[in-house]
């Protein structure tokens, strides 16, 4: 299983792709891969949840408007990968869905939850 920036560099290490699960998911469902989520406990009051959501949204919007602002941080924490790979990784995973999942993103999550085995 290859994840994160290794998706762009595995061949440099002599590895061969057998199956890209992201491509397979998108082909079979027609939906994006639901990669991660930020959730709030249901017992938090609505004002706290709204404030957290606004802070996260503002941070992502700032990052979109000022991509150079995080360059030093990303470079320091991803020293082993080239600038091109860092850029490709960020462009793949940081997109409009980072601000708002929308109906398509919600369908992707629902589809993943439906496909996941249960322990009943």
pLDDT at 69 over 90: no
Question: Which strand (E) or helix (H) includes residue 58?
Answer: helix 46-65
Q: Say what the pLDDT of residue 88 is.
A: 81
pLDDT of residue 18: 92
Phi, psi of 83 (to 5 degrees): -60, -35
Rounded to an integer, the average pLDDT of 54-74 is: 87
Provide the pLDDT for residue 38: 81
Q: What is the pLDDT of residue 79?
A: 66
Token reading at 2: 């290859």
Q: Where is pLDDT greater, at 22 or 107? A: 107
Q: What is the mean pLDDT of residues 99-116?
A: 90
| Buried/exposed 6-37: b ≥16 CB within 10 Å, e otherwise | ebbbeeeeeeeeeeeeeeebeeeeebbebeee
Q: Which residues contact 22 (CB under 8 A, 6 or more apart)?
A: 33
Which residues are catalytically annotated? 4
Best mean pLDDT range from 2-11, 58-67, 83-92: 58-67
Residue pair 86/75 in contact (Cβ under 8 Å)? The answer is: yes
Residues of the chain above pLDDT 90, percent: 32
Q: What are phi and psi of 72, to 5 degrees?
A: -65, -40
Length of the chain: 120
pLDDT band at 44; cut points 50, 70, 90: very high
* Tokens (6 digits) for 11: 């061949």
Distance CA 106, CA 112 (A): 10
The residue with greater pLDDT, 18 or 119, is 18
């Amino acid at each position: 299983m290859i994840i994160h920036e290794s998706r762009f560099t595995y061949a440099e290490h002599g590895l061969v792709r057998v199956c890209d699960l992201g491509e397979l998911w998108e082909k079979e469902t027609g939906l994006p891969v639901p990669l991660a989520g930020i959730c709030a406990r249901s017992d938090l009051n609505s004002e706290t949840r709204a404030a957290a959501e606004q802070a996260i949204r503002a941070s992502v919007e700032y990052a979109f408007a000022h991509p150079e602002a995080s360059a030093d941080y990303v470079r320091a924490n991803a020293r082993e990968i080239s600038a091109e790979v860092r850029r490709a990784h960020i462009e793949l995973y940081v997109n409009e869905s980072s601000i708002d999942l929308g109906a398509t993103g919600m369908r992707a999550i629902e589809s993943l939850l439906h496909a996941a085995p249960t322990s009943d």
